[in-house]
Chains A and B, each alone.
Chain A
Amino acid sequence: MTAPALDRTLDEAALQARFDATIAAGHRIEPRDWMPEGYRKTLVRQIAQHAHSEIIGMQPEGDWLLAAPSLRRKAVLLAKVQDEAGHGLYLYSAAETLGADRADLTDKLIERRQKYSSIFNYPTLTYADVGVIGWLVDGAAICNQVPLCRSSYGPYARAMIRVCKEESFHQRQGYELLMTMMGGTPEQQAMVQDAVDRWWWPSLMMFGPPDDESPNSAQSMAWGIKRHSNDELRQRFVDMTVPQAAVLGVTLPDPELALDEATGRYRFGPIDWSELQRVISGQGPCNDERIARRRAARDDNAWVTEAATAYAEKHA
């Protein structure tokens, strides 16, 4: 729909009313529908950040691709890292339906003008990290993302359906690797516990700051972009993960973790938010390395992209 120029204010009011009604009815906004500028901007920011997370998220596990300890594990991991590239592609495409440009978003990532999930700034020290990333990090991502399958913006919601299906495979593959390692040698069991110790708290931070310190959440929920609060999703993740840890035979590194009989939910200890702030602000162990690799992929191969463009023009 395009608004005629004559009575802008009146038209905008009508369009806004129609947009509000669509959201209120739980229907979806599609690319060519009118939408408020704030809604568009919020979505571009969120989808781009999500796409960047998929692409940067290829690196921590990708570091083990060449050294995976069996051919089957290598195939599983290669397929997973490849899926993440695919997720980045659908998400950048969803952002492009809002008028964004993939190359421009990539530049913003490399220039640190847009963020990605801070969890990927931690290193993968042993092969157990591959399993723990699948179990905890992909598990937390699923908790965050499954509700997004009902996001009010159609292309994003539809991209998330496919992303979630693949993520749930990744989570199961990660958990299966950990189960296998826990059935292996004492060294392997120690590797799993050590990885759980390192990734548990950063996984809880993936849900973002507590609700009373999350400035954009209320508007995003009103717009139907976000469906549940950060704390609600975090609690859901803890409740699902504790029994899985027991089956696996690992200890979660939180002495305060305990079942609240009254609510049936697990209480957990305080999260060190200064740690999240430190990593978000660029002080994490691998921030520079992650961005440097993206920059190198763009800059070192610029000649390839230029060649493809030149060839396409010659043979148009």
Chain B
Amino acid sequence: MVTASEGGCGMAHEETVYDALDHAHGGEGQWAFGTGFDEPLAGVDTTVPDGIDPADLGEYCLMLGDDALVLAQRLTEWMTAAPELEEEVALGNTALDLLGQARLLLARAGSVGVLGRSRERTTPTVPDEDALAYFRDPDEFRCTGLMAAPGGDFGRTMVRLLAASTLRLAVLTRLRDSRDPVLAAIAAKGVHELTYHRDHAARWVLRLGDGTPESHRRAQAGVDAVWPLLAEVLSATDVERRLVTAGVAVDPAGTRDEVRAVLTQVLDQATLRVPEWPADVPPRGRTGEHSPELTTLLATLQGLARQHPAATW
């Protein structure tokens, strides 16, 4: 037995829990704990080092930022629909991590002046990250199909998360040495997060692949649906090639051996058949060529913000 007073929630808390509310005006910034009221890069030196083309740098940030944004949106679709409450928490957490990465990367693109046509469509009170997320059209997005494709069932969702986080972890691990210190810092933060995402997805792929005949069938169907999406992800754009030379970006082709080894190891262990790796094709999503599903995803994401272009949220 424990006495009530030891619980630490006596009358004092009861009386004070509301007190702050009516002193709200102007001071409310302290309240949204952990979510950041400042713009994501507030206080960071965003000077671009010599020899780096800001337009290329911004474009590269859009590629990595859009990947994170659309995958976060896909994972968020699972909220209130996941197999277990623990999984609601885990998927929500993963989506939040990716959303955080997207915010930093879009803000970095904005900080070097890469805003596309988004600024023509909204007011100056809208921060750069939101101008880019909400006021670009589908053909201005730079995400790959691997990140943007519909999630499907839980099996396909976990296979895609495994492939996506394996690839992104491989890229961000190398990007920690980028000559752009902002990008290097964003990558260093992301590596910790993606290590967890990859581990979480791999554990589920093992359980599903080596669980019941039904889960094996579904996991294999997920693998077969996701593998073709890998065809474009190792092909660099011209922007990436120039930035690799400048010491800023990672050539995705350089992650091929690592990505294939990790995916093969997990699938083997999960008793799943590893499909033949698809032949490389030129980048599509990175140049704005997307499947119609991205248009649908963006219509949902952007609809409300676009109805009220002069609003502050």
B8 proximity list for chain A (CB < 8 A): 161
For B9, give its contact among A70, A164, A172 (CB under 8 Å): A164
Tell me whether A150 and B3 are in contact (CB under 8 A): no
For B211, give its contact among A22, A27, A28, A307 (CB under 8 Å): A307
Please tell me which stretch of B33-41, B171-179, B249-257 contacts chain A, meaning at least 4 of its Cβ atoms lie within 8 angstroms of it.
Answer: B33-41
B 217-257 to A, binary, CB cutoff 8 A, 1 in contact else 0:
01000000000000000000000000000000000000000
What 10 A-B pairs come out closest when comparing CB atoms?
A: A307-B211, A307-B215, A149-B9, A301-B83, A82-B92, A172-B31, A85-B88, A304-B83, A176-B28, A311-B207
A 16-59 to B, binary, CB cutoff 8 A, 1 in contact else 0:
00000010011111100100000000000000000000010011
A147 proximity list for chain B (CB < 8 A): 14
Please tell me which stretch of B53-61, B137-145, B276-284, B299-307 contacts chain A, meaning at least 4 of its Cβ atoms lie within 8 angstroms of it.
Answer: B299-307
For chain A, the count of residues having a C-beta within 8 Å of the partner chain is 81
**Cα A244 to Cα B18 with chains together (Å):** 10
Q: At the interface, yes or no: B43 with Cβ under 8 Å from chain A? A: no
18 A-B pairs with CB atoms under 8 Å apart are A66-B73, A74-B76, A78-B76, A78-B92, A78-B96, A78-B99, A82-B93, A89-B86, A149-B13, A150-B10, A185-B308, A297-B80, A297-B82, A306-B211, A306-B212, A307-B208, A308-B211, A311-B210
A150 proximity list for chain B (CB < 8 A): 4, 7, 9-10
B196-224 residues with Cβ-Cβ distance < 8 A to A are 206-208, 210-212, 214-215, 218
- On chain B, which size bracket covers the interface? 35 or more
**A59 with B80, Cβ < 8 A, contacts A71-B99, A76-B35, A306-B215 known:** yes
Tell me whether B92 and A71 are in contact (CB under 8 A): no
Tell me whether B3 and A28 are in contact (CB under 8 A): yes
Q: At the interface, yes or no: A213 with Cβ under 8 Å from chain B? A: no
For B18, give its contact among A62, A86, A139, A158 (CB under 8 Å): A139
**A85 with B92, Cβ < 8 A, contacts A243-B22, A297-B82 known:** yes
Minimum Cβ distance to chain A for residue B197 (Å): 15
**A297 with B103, Cβ < 8 A, contacts A71-B129, A243-B22 known:** no
**Cα A67 to Cα B304 with chains together (Å):** 6
Q: At the interface, yes or no: A15 with Cβ under 8 Å from chain B? A: no
Nearest-neighbor residue (CB-CB) of B20 within chain A: A172
Q: At the interface, yes or no: A196 with Cβ under 8 Å from chain B? A: no
Q: Which of B17, B80, B214, B215 has the most CB of A within 10 A?
A: B80
B96 proximity list for chain A (CB < 8 A): 75, 78-79, 82
Tell me if A's interface is mostly helix, strand, loop or mixed.
Answer: helix
**A28 with B92, Cβ < 8 A, contacts A89-B85, A306-B214 known:** no
A58 proximity list for chain B (CB < 8 A): 79-80, 88
Tell me whether A305 and B84 are in contact (CB under 8 A): yes
For A78, give its contact among B95, B206, B212 (CB under 8 Å): B95
A 216-249 to B, binary, CB cutoff 8 A, 1 in contact else 0:
0000000000000000000000001001100100
B10 proximity list for chain A (CB < 8 A): 150
Nearest-neighbor residue (CB-CB) of B100 within chain A: A75
A22 proximity list for chain B (CB < 8 A): 1
For B4, give its contact among A81, A157, A300 (CB under 8 Å): A157
Tell me whether B24 and A179 are in contact (CB under 8 A): yes
A28 proximity list for chain B (CB < 8 A): 1-4, 7
B3 proximity list for chain A (CB < 8 A): 25-28
Nearest-neighbor residue (CB-CB) of B76 within chain A: A65
**Cα A77 to Cα B126 with chains together (Å):** 19
Q: At the interface, yes or no: A184 with Cβ under 8 Å from chain B? A: yes
Tell me whether B313 and A75 are in contact (CB under 8 A): no
Nearest-neighbor residue (CB-CB) of A73 within chain B: B313
**Cα A174 to Cα B265 with chains together (Å):** 46
**A181 with B92, Cβ < 8 A, contacts A74-B99, A157-B4 known:** no
Minimum Cβ distance to chain A for residue B35 (Å): 5
Tell me whether B210 and A72 are in contact (CB under 8 A): no
**Cα A33 to Cα B36 with chains together (Å):** 45
B 286-313 to A, binary, CB cutoff 8 A, 1 in contact else 0:
0000000000000011011100101111
**Cα A81 to Cα B95 with chains together (Å):** 12
Q: At the interface, yes or no: B261 with Cβ under 8 Å from chain A? A: no
Nearest-neighbor residue (CB-CB) of B5 within chain A: A26
Tell me whether A66 and B76 are in contact (CB under 8 A): yes
**Cα A168 to Cα B21 with chains together (Å):** 10
Nearest-neighbor residue (CB-CB) of A246 within chain B: B22
Q: At the interface, yes or no: B193 with Cβ under 8 Å from chain A? A: no
B304 proximity list for chain A (CB < 8 A): 67-69, 127
